[in-house]
Amino acid sequence: MADAKGKRDKVILAYSGGLDTSVMVHWIQEKYNLDVVTFTVDLGQGEDIEAIRQKALRTGAIDAIAIDARNLFVDCFVWPALMAGAIYEGKYPLATALGRPLIAKLMVDAARQFNARAVAHGCTGKGNDQVRFDVTFQTLAPDLRIIAPVREWKMTRDEEIAFVRQRNIPVEINEENLFSIDQNLWGRSCEAGVLEDPWVEPPAEAFAWTVDPSKAPDEPAYVVIDFDQGKPVSLEGKKMDGVALIGHLNKLAGAHGIGRIDHVENRLVGIKSRELYEAPAGVVLHMAHREIESLTLSRQAMRFKSIVAQEYADLIYNGQWFSAFHQDLAQFVLSSQRFVSGQVRVKLFKGNAFVVGRKSENSLYSKSLATYEKGDLFDHDAAKGFIRLWGLSQQTQAQLQLLKGGKGFELPGVLTDKRPE
């Protein structure tokens, strides 16, 4: 592809600096005749993105971009997901799934800035990540061509190594990785290798953010988390921005062995896959957030919100971040959080987090209604009439249907011939 003046068109390539994406810098130039601009984002994965940028230039990119998007990631992706209670299949706090739409959006911005005609990523053809990238690209910029070399080239690792050797591409070939890893500040995922057998216990090498719970300190640690309208704003009374707060909590909870998740999950593309996650801060914050909600939301709001949480998690997992449906759910979630402020006290001990205290200025908990001691304001007499009406329809149905003809009451679903008299 080239323009009228014979200059080559450009592609923005999501670049991690590993073997795959280094091969891509050349492969795309050769196969598609495009100039490659690499794009690397810091989402708190703990890598030196400037070093990766330099590496891209050495590897043959005509330009290389590195962006620190950690604050944007937390404020616009992680916190909304936390407030929504979005956890996929009740287990996965969605770190990777939240990162992809942001990376894709920033790549579209870069494509506009560089007047590029295409975008490229290194996702395989059987994962969720390709879906998240491609759907975001096609939503935000349907004119951009999407190139996914790994989906196309079908090279083995050895063939990739031969490819870089032939062309003298300066990339250090590390030992073959035991696992496939992805990480950002909200969590780390680990898959493949021995983990492909769901019966095999994850070996110690699979973990990087958490200590083995049996080796965690014998003394528990306590941490107080402050929420303001659903958002965590301080730890131990110390105000900090989201990036710092999550960083601190990852270290603290990880040191107590908290945040290990072993999940056989349902991928969008129809397969089950066994994934190991570490998300110390994610696990603690979701737990604490649910707790401050339990104090400040009505029963009805909590119930409805748990339905929203599932939909929210699915849409994140399935690559639909940039959808009208998401905007609608996000409005509900935001509104639901207006009284969700207060403190939660969490105990961290040998792989487990326990909420041991919670308080809020907006608390719906009334001691004088709940107490069994002096000062009880609950109207016990009112209970009697309430219960008569609450049970009325069930009582009526029993008389008119279930007990008709002098039959006894059939116990539903009891797998025995013996019935209580």
| Active site amino acids | 20, 100, 129, 180
- In the bound complex, what is the minimum distance in angstroms from residue 270's beta carbon to ligand ARG? 13
Radius of gyration of the chain (CA): 27
C-beta of 266 vs 366, nearer to ligand ARG: 266
Instruction: Find the part of the chain contacting ligand ARG (CB under 6 A) among 69-77, 121-129, 146-154, 322-330.
Output: 121-129
Report, in Å, the least distance between residue 317 CB and ligand ARG. Answer: 7
249 in contact with ligand ARG (CB under 6 A): no
Binding residue for ligand ARG, selected from 128, 136, 337, 341, defined by CB under 6 A: 128
Pairing of strands 231-235, 221-228: antiparallel
Q: Are 21 and 48 in contact (CB under 8 A)?
A: no
Per-position DSSP letters for 278-322, written without gaps between them: E-HHHHHHHHHHHHHHHHHS-HHHHHHHHHHHHHHHHHHHTT-TT
The residue range among 42-50, 127-135, 252-260, 357-365 that interacts with ligand ARG, by the rule CB under 6 A, is 127-135
**Token code pair at residue 350:** 């040998």
Query: Which H or E run contains 14?
Result: strand 10-14
Q: How far apart are CA 211 and CA 201, in angstroms?
A: 15
Least Cβ distance, residue 160 to ligand ARG (angstroms): 16
Q: Which stretch binds ligand ARG (CB under 6 A): 76-84, 125-133, 220-228, 381-389?
A: 125-133
| Residue 182 binds ligand ARG, judged by CB under 6 A | yes
Return the residue of 21, 40, 59, 96 that touches ligand ARG, per CB under 6 A.
96
Q: Which stretch binds ligand ARG (CB under 6 A): 123-131, 230-238, 285-293, 329-337?
A: 123-131
Write the interaction track for ligand ARG spanning residues 258-277; mark x where CB under 6 A is met and - where it is not: -----------------x--
Residue closer to ligand ARG (CB basis): 22 or 128 = 128
**Rounded Cα distance, 18 and 174, in Å:** 9
Q: Is residue 134 a contact point for ligand ARG (CB under 6 A)?
A: no
From the CB of 395, what's the least distance to ligand ARG, in Å?
50
Q: Site residues for ligand ARG, window 4-23 (CB under 6 A)?
A: none
Tell me the per-residue interface mask from 23 to 62 with ligand ARG, x by CB under 6 A, - otherwise. Answer: ----------------------------------------
**Minimum distance, C-beta of residue 142 to ligand ARG, in the bound complex (Å):** 24
Nearest approach, Cβ of 153 to ligand ARG (angstroms)?
Answer: 17
Residue 192 in 3-state DSSP?
Answer: coil
Question: What is the DSSP annotation of 77-138?
Answer: IIHHHHHHT--BTTTB--HHHHHHHHHHHHHHHHHHHTT-SEEE----TTSSHHHHHHHHHH
Which listed range, 126-134, 151-159, 198-206, 241-249, lies at the site for ligand ARG (CB under 6 A)?
Answer: 126-134
Measured on CA atoms in the order 229, 235, 239, 243, is the torsion positive or negative?
negative
Site string for ligand ARG, 275-314 (x = CB under 6 A): x---------------------------------------
CA 308 remoteness from chain centre:
16
Lookup: tokens for 235: 């730890």
Alpha-helix runs per DSSP H in 201-279: 242-255
Inter-CA distances, 253 with 129, 189, 211, 223, 290, Å: 28, 17, 9, 9, 18
The residue written with tokens 């073997």 in the block is 19
Q: Which is nearer to ligand ARG, 19 or 252 (CB)?
A: 19
Q: Encoding tokens for residue 35?
A: 């100039």
Helix H or strand E encompassing 274: strand 272-278
Q: Which stretch binds ligand ARG (CB under 6 A): 28-36, 122-130, 210-218, 238-246?
A: 122-130
Q: How far is the CB of 150 from ligand ARG (least distance, A)?
A: 10
**10 Å Cβ neighbour count for 343?**
17
Binding mask 195-234 for ligand ARG (x = CB under 6 A): ----------------------------------------
Show Cβ contacts of residue 28 under 8 Å, excluding neighbours closer than 6 positions. 11, 13, 34, 36, 120, 147, 149
Q: Under the rule (CB under 6 A), what is the footprint of ligand ARG?
A: 96-97, 127-129, 180, 182, 189, 275
